Chains A and B, each alone.
Chain A
Amino acid sequence: MTSPTSDPAVLTQSTPSLISLSGAWTARELAAIVPQARLLRVPGDAPVVAECGRITALDTAGAWVLQSLLLRLQRDGAKVTLTNLAAPFEKLLATVTSQAREQSQRPGVVAARIPGRLEAVGLRVAAAGEQLVALLAFIGESAVALVRVISHPRQIRWRPIAFNIRSGGLEAVPIVALLSFMLGVVVAYQGADQLRHYGANIFVADLVGLSILREFGPLITAIIIAGRSGSAYAAQIGTMAVTEEIDAMRTLGIAPIELLVLPKVIALVIALPLLTVCADIAGVVGGMVMAKAQLDVGYPEFLDRFLKAISVTSYVVGIGKAPVFAAIISAVGCFQGFRTQGGADSVGRQTTVAVVQTIFLVIVADGLFSVAFSALDL
């Protein structure tokens, strides 16, 4: 048993064949003598006495160290006798010794092999490939489920869709509008200096209008929603996977994709374009405020120029990207949720992966859109 006061274990070799042990041989007090015990040498021919009378406490850790010491000395050829070991300690030592003997008779555990550098690269590539295939399979499955649901419109689950539109769309309006407003302010502010150089103050409307409507509006909205809803989807489905709720659903004959994925995809495809409209409006208002403050372009002048310079196409092109972004966010979020295995740790990891992958894919998709639109002269 351990005592709160410090009573370090001591190991002394008074003569080559007399070792005395004293103090508390417990996990807390052992640290100092462990290296000493490993270095201890005794003459091989003479009998050795280990005097244990002054050991005040012995726990499993102490017994283990003691038996390792005895075992090593015996293997070196010494005959060691323990004297004056208290009865309960002797019992514990016997238990630990027999356990150790059993352990030593079994082959040791083979340590897991650490892959070499090249092998590690290969393993990661294989894992990425496997994940890509799984993602495509998941998208395919969801598409099939979507077609099935659309062909039987009565099966559409309106309640979860409405719920997701509220939680993922409506409740995100303030943060999306605020950030987009600030983005409009920044764009106008950065452009102001250059435009003033050329006396082209009024073109701030072109700058703000085009950049917000075509690029920043849809992109900032998608990134905010990826962080806000994509992560929530992954965490929700991941936790359900850990607590066997997904398995229960399958057993009850409910397709998890229909119940968990489709409402989220449909809701986000509806909500994200609407959020993008909010972002467009807030961004342009931000630019307008800055134009007045920095460039003396009044609101009527700004709006006048805005109407002339910005075609409806620019607006539609921006909004048109939103449903695609929505599909990416909801699909990847749900997909990573379903890949959760094990415990709480895994939920966190999959959520992180979901957000990183979503943002990555959204930006890649945005790049592809730019290429396509410029090829189409939009």
Chain B
Amino acid sequence: MEPTPAPSDIVVAMQGVVTRFGAHVVHDGVNLEVRRSEIYAIVGGSGSGKSTLLREMILLHRPDSGSIRVLGVDLAGLDDEAALALRQRFGVLFQHGGLFGSLSVLENVGLPLREHTRLDGALIDELALLRLEMAGLAPDVGAQFPSELSGGMMKRASLARALVLDPELLFLDEPTAGLDPQSADGVDDLVRRLRDQSRLTIVMITHDLDLLWQVADRVAVLADGRVQGVGSMAELHRSANQAVRRFFDGPRGRAAEEQQDRLVRARDGAGREVASRPR
């Protein structure tokens, strides 16, 4: 059994969260804890309330009951000023990017700096360009408008904007949805690099089994309004819970697992360490 982490190492804590839309109960007592510097994935079928859960964490939706603490701040009864301060401490990558169509990519990335700091315009442009390049985009992308970008470029630009204030916590909503396999691999790498470089905590929602096997430290399976199981993919794989099993037993689940096995063997064969971090 792992030791219980200290309270200060819990970045997101949800307790007994209940959400209803009319008579439809989406969450019926969700409990989860995200620890500092881990990549935490939330999975579940369509309509299982993953996205709503994320919206509750990022202050876009209020649960009907239950408590949510993000970065040690209780979200219930948060005043505007405290909410603004908290919002600056996390970044969000929306599923469709959420880039502003009327601004160029560089202006989009620099916008949080322009709004929340007193730095001068030239320095902000430099920083935005740096972020853009760190997200793996060519500098001339900065002059383009979001409508001219491909899906993968849009995600990268949006990620650059989410990270520009160096948040402690990053939320990713379907980071690989709608991407070709190559771009999706690029996002995998990017997410892993981010976590390795800084002590960033990442909470993501995804369907992408490859991403889950290769990037996530812990995975929570959401079904029937509750968290059905939490653990590494390998642990969940051994779970007997029906809702968890459904996730692995499809042909896609098996393919991703085999792919993971192949990767591990290839890495071992090359005589390198499997992973530098505990898994």
Judge: A and B partners, yes or no: yes
| Chain A residues with CB under 8 A of B117 | 27-28, 30-31, 61
List the A side residues contacting B102 at CB < 8 Å. 345
Nearest residue, chain A, Cβ from B168: A1
- Contact at B199–A106, with CB atoms within 8 Å? no
In the complex, per-residue mask of A54-74: 1 if CB is within 8 Å of any chain B CB, else 0: 000001110011001000000
Are B168 and A34 interface neighbours, CB within 8 A? Answer: no
Q: Does A148 contact B (CB under 8 A)?
A: no
Which one of A28, A60, A343 lies within 8 Å of B101 (CB-CB)?
A343
What's the nearest-Cβ distance from chain A to residue B101, in Å? 3
Chain A residues with Cβ under 8 A from B197's Cβ?
A: 91-92, 95
CB of A342 within 8 Å of the partner chain: yes
Known pairs A2-B88, A26-B166, A342-B145; A100 contacts B101 (CB<8 A)? no
Confirm or deny: A96 has a beta carbon within 8 angstroms of a beta carbon on chain B: yes
A residues in contact with B126, CB < 8 Å: 64, 68
Question: CA A356 – CA B179 in complex, angstroms?
Answer: 40
A342-B101, A342-B145 given; A99·B130 CB < 8 A:
yes
Q: Which of A4, A91, A95 contacts B85 (CB 8 A)?
A: A4
Contact yes or no, B123 A59, CB < 8 A: no
In chain B, positions 97-113 with a C-beta closer than 8 Å to chain A are 101-102, 113
Question: Is B147 within 8 A of A109, CB to CB?
Answer: no
A-contact bits for B110-133, CB 8 A (1 contact / 0 none)? 000100111110010011011101
Smallest CB separation, A4 vs chain B (Å): 6
Q: Which of B85, B163, B198 has the most CB of A within 10 A?
A: B198
B166 touches A2 (CB 8 A): yes
Interface-central residue, A26, A108, A342, by most chain B CB under 10 Å: A342
A23–B173 Cα gap in the complex (Å)? 35
B178 contacts chain A at the CB level, 8 A cutoff: no
Report the separation of the CA atoms of residues A164 and B148 in the bound assembly, to the nearest whole angstrom: 34
**A103 CB–B CB distance under 8 Å:** yes
Q: CB of B49 within 8 A of chain A?
A: no
Q: Does any Cβ of A come within 8 Å of B78's Cβ? A: no
Is A60 a contact partner of B199 (Cβ separation < 8 A)? no
Minimal beta-carbon separation of B247 from chain A (angstroms): 31
Of A34, A103, A343, which one neighbours B123 at CB under 8 angstroms?
A34
A147 interface residue, CB < 8 Å from B? no
Cα-based distance from A34 to B118 in the complex (angstroms): 10
- Is B44 positioned at the interface, with any CB of A under 8 Å from its CB? no
> Closest B-chain residue to A68, C-beta based?
B126
* Contact among B116, B119, B140, B164 for A30, CB-based, below 8 A: B119
Please name the residue on chain A nearest to B166 by beta carbon: A59
A102 close to B133 (CB less than 8 A): yes
Chain A residues within 8 Å of B101, by CB: 342-346
> Which B residues are CB-close (under 8 A) to A344?
101
The answer to whether A99 touches B140 (Cβ under 8 A) is no
Q: Which of B123, B143, B146 has the most CB of A within 10 A?
A: B123
Cβ–Cβ < 8 Å partners of A91 in chain B? 197
Contacts of B139 in A (CB 8 A): 103, 106, 108-109
Which of B118, B147, B163 is close to A343, meaning CB atoms less than 8 Å apart? B147
Verify if A116 is at the interface (C-beta below 8 Å from B): no
| Residues of chain B within 8 A of A103, CB atoms compared | 129-130, 133, 139
Of A96, A112, A341, which contacts B130 at CB under 8 A?
A96
Select the residue from B116, B142, B165 with max chain A CB neighbours within 10 A: B165
Alpha-carbon gap, A302 to B164, bound state (A): 74
Q: In the complex, A2→B131 CA distance in Å?
A: 18
Asked if A88 lies at the interface with its beta carbon under 8 angstroms from chain B, I say yes
From A91, which residue of chain B is reached at the shortest CB distance?
B197
**Docked pose: A342 CA to B102 CA in angstroms:** 10
Chain B residues closer than 8 Å to A102, beta-carbon distance: 133
- B134 contacts A by Cβ under 8 Å: yes
| Interface presence of B89 (CB below 8 A) | yes
Q: Which residues of A contact B127 (CB under 8 A)?
A: 27, 60-61, 64
Complex Cα distance, B140 from A111, in Å, reads: 9
Identify which of A26, A28, A91 gathers the most chain B CB atoms within 10 Å of its CB.
A28
- A31: chain B residues within 8 A (beta carbon): 117-120
Chain A residues with CB under 8 Å of B148's CB are 342
* Cβ-defined contact, A341 with B147, below 8 A: yes
Q: Which of A83-121 contact B (CB under 8 A)?
A: 88, 91-92, 95-96, 99-100, 102-103, 106, 108-109, 111-112
- The answer, among B120, B142, B143, B166, for a CB contact under 8 Å with A27, is B166
Q: How many Å lie between the Cα of A34 and that of B126 in the bound state?
A: 13
Q: Could you list 11 examples of A-B contacts with CB < 8 Å?
A: A1-B166, A1-B199, A2-B88, A2-B165, A34-B123, A61-B119, A61-B166, A65-B123, A103-B129, A112-B143, A344-B101
Query: Which residues of B are interface residues toward A (Cβ below 8 A)?
Result: 85, 88-89, 101-102, 113, 116-120, 123, 126-127, 129-131, 133-134, 139-140, 142-143, 145-148, 163-166, 168, 197-199
Q: Which 7 pairs of residues, A with B, have the shortest CB-CB distance?
A: A343-B101, A342-B147, A31-B118, A59-B166, A345-B101, A345-B102, A27-B117
Interface of A toward B, CB cutoff 8 Å? 1-2, 4, 26-28, 30-31, 34, 59-61, 64-65, 68, 88, 91-92, 95-96, 99-100, 102-103, 106, 108-109, 111-112, 341-346
Q: A2-B89, A61-B113, A88-B199 are in contact. List 4 more A-B contacts (CB 8 A).
A: A27-B165, A28-B117, A60-B127, A343-B101
